[in-house]
Amino acid sequence: MTILRLRGREFRPGEFAIMAVVNRTPDSFYDRGRTYGFEAALKAVDGAVEGGADIVDIGGVKAGPGDEVDPAEEIRRVAGLVAAVRDRHPDLVISVDTWRAEVGEVVAEAGADLLNDTWGGVDSGLADVAARHGIGLVCAHAGGVTPRTRPHRIAYDDVVADVVDHTVGLAERAAAAGVARESILIDPAHDFGKNTRHSLEISRRLGEMVGTGWPVLVAVSNKDFVGETLGGLPVDERHAGTIATLAVSAWQGARVFRVHDAASARDALAVVSGLRGSGL
């Protein structure tokens, strides 16, 4: 496995990085707009850093269906926050969750270090933006679905093979476009273009992604597959399931963990590190 480098920081094999979620959206599935306001979002970043986050992932568009958010509005929501966070936390790795190259361009100029393309490469220009600005890129698998839509009876012959093939392909293309190989991550994107059975299968076989050599990011925090596995629990009752899935993912070699609660994730992963005999 390679060393992951983001904003001059190095995350070596066996080390874990916590990526905290801060959404400037009025309709987030998790906090329902609690951090939509600028000051509330900035305060949430401060709290995440205090809780031990290595990376903060800023989003301006709800992942699921909802009101249309055009690129101009997405930029309005995230670019100023990125600039403020960069000024406030000079050493923090800042990620922006976007699938749009035009948004990526603006946030890169504002100080972002990583573009988190959760929709699986629908805009090929995003890799060019990352290359041009010398920043990182997350290459995810969303099953080819349109951004912000839910899959209808989606099927795979082998979901893990599909995930590995797609994410590695995107990573290699990003490297060919000029993105530094040590700043590229791959993400199975649980629940994106997948049902619960698919997301559980990916979690069980995450080691196959780790085996590609690319650093693996997992984003399982409070997701639907966790709630459904626990008998249909609502979002605010999925914490224990989230922690369990993080631990299983870490044990298999995942490197970066996108979470809503940085402090508890760091504690859980510290235990995994202790059990494995590696440091966090």
- Give CA–CA dist 145/241, Å, rounded: 26
Q: Phi first, then psi: what are they for 265, rounded to 5°?
A: -65, -40
Angle between helices 159-177 and 196-204 (to 10 degrees): 70
| 145 occurs within a structural domain | yes
Q: Taking all residues of the chain, what is their mean pLDDT, rounded to a whole number?
A: 96
Q: Phi first, then psi: what are they for 140, rounded to 5°?
A: -115, 170
3-state secondary structure 23-48: ECCCCCCCCCCCCCCHHHHHHHHHHH
The answer to whether the beta carbons of residues 117 and 100 sit under 8 Å apart is no
Q: What is the pLDDT of residues 5-61, one digit of tens each?
A: 999 999 999 999 999 999 999 998 888 889 999 999 999 999 999 999 999 999 999
Q: What is the pLDDT of residue 152?
A: 84
| 215 occurs within a structural domain | yes
Rounded mean pLDDT, 239-247: 98
Closest among 131, 34, 35, 120 to 85, alpha carbons compared? 35
The answer to whether the beta carbons of residues 98 and 61 sit under 8 Å apart is yes
Report whether pLDDT(101) > 80.
Answer: yes
Beta-bridge partner residues of 257: 18, 218
Number of domains in the chain: 1
- Give CA–CA dist 264/275, Å, rounded: 17
Provide the pLDDT confidence category of residue 1 given band limits of 50, 70 and 90.
confident
Domain containing 195 — which CATH number?
A: 3.20.20.20
Closest among 60, 63, 56 to 29, alpha carbons compared? 63
- Give CA–CA dist 200/236, Å, rounded: 20
| 1 occurs within a structural domain | no
| 3 occurs within a structural domain | no
Rounded mean pLDDT, 206-234: 98
Report whether pLDDT(226) > 70.
Answer: yes
| 98 occurs within a structural domain | yes
The answer to whether the beta carbons of residues 19 and 55 sit under 8 Å apart is yes
Provide the pLDDT confidence category of residue 278 given band limits of 50, 70 and 90.
low
Report whether pLDDT(280) > 60.
Answer: no
Rounded mean pLDDT, 123-127: 97
| 8 occurs within a structural domain | no
Report whether pLDDT(151) > 90.
Answer: no
Q: To 10 degrees, the CA torsion angle through 100, 115, 127, 124?
A: -30
Report whether pLDDT(185) > 70.
Answer: yes
Q: To 10 degrees, the CA torsion angle through 138, 140, 146, 152?
A: -150
Residue range of the domain that includes 108: 14-276
